[in-house]
Amino acid sequence: MPTAADDLGTVVVVTVISLPETVADDLLGPLPDTGQIVVWDGTGERPQRAEEIEFFVARYNAPPPRREALAGLPRLRVIQLLSAGVDHWLPVVPDGVLLCNARGVHGASTAELGIAGLLAILRRIPEFVAGQQAHAWRRLEGDGLVGRRVLVVGAGDIGERVAGVVRLLDGQVTVVARTARAGVHGFADLPGLLPDHDVVVLAVPLTDETRHLVDAAFLAALPDGAVVVNVARGPVIDTDALLAELTARRLHAFLDVTDPEPLPADHPLWDAPNLLLTPHVGGGTAGWTGRAYRLAGEQIRRFLAGEELVNQVHRGY
């Protein structure tokens, strides 16, 4: 355990904390003297005292470092992500190391984008934009959320926020999660629920259980004209199956995430009818950096105080 002496000569136990960038130090908030910061994102040359790192804060929106880089940190106990999604990190987390995500940091902005995309489709905003560009005053009747039957797949932070907005706008909400509980259906209920819903919003983490959860059979069970919204992860949807439905103009979709991602310039999704697409910007609103590092600072203070950490990830959730 690394130590240092204070002005009185007392031996103080020091915990080494790794941050991915220098700006993060100013955003964490005050830390006890027992926390010592090094700047390293797990790539490139290792900093001094890297072998003493116990708490590692990951860089946002970047591939994780190689597993060997993290396995080479003998004191490592916690990896704190600045994202809600953890799928890319699961293969590189060393055994015995606790992984925590940033649940709550991006939930509001991601839910907001999902609702924005859904409303844009229902209210036919892309067609009005085209009319504006053509200087054409065309009144079109759209749909709204009033009375709309919305199936929210995922009962976490994002799913809860989406469901709340739909209810506020007088829509009817059904929530589905991995495990059934009071007021929430389980995945096993999906086949019976799909035909009765006009909208499906996907807000689940990517796991072996949710990969291609939305396949050809899932989509075929939806009624004509239904809208699929994905603010989760691209591979939750079978892209080829969705393309077939969009090309047939039977369904509509709003995607903030795709499979593959980034979407190649020649991919057929770009030109698919009935599709509104954004390039994975659900969490990309002003102020996210401050929110993310405030959470990291709170976690570090809990860790230094020996308290239980929040947002712990177990089995991909």
Q: Tell me phi and psi for residue 279, to 5 degrees.
A: -90, 65
Q: What is the pLDDT of residues 168-202, one digit of tens each?
A: 999 999 999 999 999 999 999 999 999 999 999 99
The pairing of beta strand 149-153 with beta strand 3-5: unpaired
CA-nearest of 92, 107, 49 to 74 is 49
> How far does CA 108 lie from the centroid of its chain?
11
Asked if pLDDT for residue 11 goes beyond 70, the answer is no
pLDDT bin (cut points 50, 70, 90) of residue 14 is: low
Predicted confidence at residue 12, as pLDDT, reads 42
DSSP-derived 3-state class of residue 163: helix
- Tell me the average pLDDT across 259-270: 97
At a CB cut-off of 8 Å and minimum separation 6, what does 312 contact? 98, 99, 100
pLDDT digits (tens, 9 = 90+) for 134-166: 999 999 999 999 999 999 999 999 999 999 999
Confidence of residue 120 (pLDDT cuts 50, 70, 90): very high
The CA distance from 297 to 295, in Å, is 5
Tell me what pLDDT residue 233 has. 96
Which domains are assigned to the chain?
A: 3-105+287-304 (3.40.50.720), 107-277 (3.40.50.720)
Which band of pLDDT confidence, cut at 50, 70 and 90, is reported for residue 4?
Answer: very low
Determine the average pLDDT of the residues in 9-29: 75
Average the pLDDT over 212-225 and give the result: 98
CA–CA separation, 165 and 168 (whole Å): 5
CA gap 153, 160 in Å, rounded: 10
Any idea how long the chain is?
317
Q: What is the pLDDT of residue 13?
A: 56
Per-residue pLDDT of 35-82, as tens digits, reads: 889 999 999 999 989 999 999 999 998 899 999 999 999 999 999 999
Burial class (CB in 10 A: 0-12, 13-18, 19+), 36: middle
User: What is the arithmetic mean of pLDDT over 222-251?
Assistant: 98
Distance CA 233, CA 258 (A): 7
Residue 9: CB partners within 8 Å, gap ≥ 6? Answer: none
Q: How many CB atoms lie within 10 A of CB 172?
A: 17
Tokens of 195: 């035909």
pLDDT band at 235 (very low <50, low <70, confident <90, very high): very high
Higher pLDDT, 34 or 209: 209
Look at the alpha carbons of 293, 299, 301, 303 in this order and tell me if their dihedral is positive or negative.
negative
Tokens of 160: 């809860």
Q: Which residues are catalytic?
A: 233, 261, 280
DSSP state of 122: H
What pTM value is reported for the model?
Answer: 0.90
* pLDDT value of residue 35: 85
From the CB of residue 128, how many other CB atoms can be counted at a distance below 10 Å? 16
Q: Among 17-26, 149-158, 167-176, 252-261, where is mean pLDDT lowest?
A: 17-26
More confident residue, 3 or 286: 286
Give the whole-angstrom CA distance, residue 43 versus residue 46: 8
What average pLDDT does the chain have?
Answer: 93
**What does the pLDDT read at residue 34?**
83
| pLDDT given for residue 26 in this prediction | 81
Report how far residue 38's alpha carbon sits from residue 54's, in angstroms, rounded to the nearest whole number. Answer: 11
Distances (CA, A) of 280 to 63, 265, 316: 15, 15, 20
For 213-236, b where at least 16 C-beta lie within 10 A, e where not — what string? bbeeebbebbeeebbbbbbbbbbb
